[in-house]
Structure 1
Amino acid sequence: MFRLKFSKYLNSRGMTLIELIIAIAIMGIVFAGIGNLFTTSVIGWKNNSDRLNHVQDQIDSNNLLERINNIVRFSNTLTSTDKDKITFTVNDPSKTVATPVTWTIYTVADPNDSSMKRVVVDQVPSNGTQDLLNVPFSKVEFYSVDTNSVRIVVRRSTNGTDQNMIVAFGGFK
C-alpha cells in the first residue's frame, strides 16, 4: 500500500520551469513587502527623532528666555544693550538700604564647539560668573526695542527656528 503511493512520486520528474518561476515570483513579492515595511519603519523612526530634537530645542530656548526674564523683571534700569550683551542694575534684595547691583548677561564661545554659544550672567559686586543654562545655543542676540525693553532672539540648534521674547526692564522698583 505504502509502495503504491510512494511510487507515484518516484516517477515524478521534479518541478517544471513554470512552477519554479511562480515560486520565485511569490518569494519576490513577500520579500519586497518585508523590505518596504523595514524601510518605512526606519524613515518613521528618523522623522520622530527629528521631531523630538526640535521639541527639545524649543524647551531649552524657552527655559533660557524664562531664566533671563526672571532675572530682568526685578531690575531698575537698563544700562546698555549690545548684540552680544545686556547690562542692567538691580537693587540688592538682601540689603535693607537700596544698593544697586550691576548685572550683565552675555554670550561666550562654547568650549566644546566654537560655532555654539553659552549664555552667562555676571554680577558686580561679583559673586562670580555663572552659566544660565548648561546648554549651548547657535544664536543668542539682544536688540534694543526702546529705553526699557530688549528683544532677545535665541536659536538652540543650527537648523532650528528662532525663539523671540521682549523683556521689559524697570517693572519692579
Structure 2
Amino acid sequence: MTNPRDRMPQTGILIDDDPLYLRTLQRSLRKCGLRIVTATTKAEALAAAQAEPPDFALVDLRLGQESGLGLIEPLKAIRQDMRVLLVTGYASVATAVEAMKRGADDYLLKPVTVDAILRALADEMTPQPEPEVTMTPLSRLEWEHMQQALKETDGNISAAARLLGMHRRSLQRKLAKRPGPERKPDDTPG
C-alpha cells in the first residue's frame, strides 16, 4: 500500500489576499500539470477545500487582517494527509516554529518560485542533496521586523517607533541602512 505522500500532489489550493499573485502562481502551477484553485479569504479557502479536498495548500501568513496560521489545523482536519505550505514575506523564527507546531509541512519565503513549491511538494523519500546552509544576518532580521512594524502602522514612522520601543530618529537611521544578503557559514565579512 502506498502512502499518499509518496506521490507528487495533483491538486492544490492557493490562499493569498493578492489576486494578481494568485493568478500568476496558479497559471504557472497549471503549466506543471497541477489542478489549482484559489481563495483570498479563510472562509473561501475552507469552502473550496471542503468541496474538493486538495493534495496540498499554499497558505500566505497574512490574509488581510487575518493570519494564515489559523487555517493550518482546519485544513488538516478536512484532509489529514494534505501538505500545508506556509508562505510569508515576513519570515521569523517565531512564526516558523508556530506554523510547524500547528502542523505546517513547510515554511517558504516570498516571493516563492514554482520550483521551490515543487521541491517542497516532492516525494519526501527521494534522497535530496544536502541543502546549502545560509544564515540570515541579524541586521536583516531586524530590518524586516521594522518593515513589518511600518506596515502595521500604515507607514507612520512615529507609531512604528513606539510599537518597537525605540526613538523615531533611531528607526529612521536603521531603516536607511539596508542589510546585506544571507551568508554561508564560511563567509567572513571583509
Q: TM-score, with normalisation over the residues of structure 1?
A: 0.22
Larger radius of gyration: 1
Q: Please identify which structure carries the higher helix content.
A: 2
Structure showing greater relative contact order (alpha-carbon pairs closer than 8 Å, 6 or more residues apart): 1
Q: Please identify which structure carries the higher strand content.
A: 1
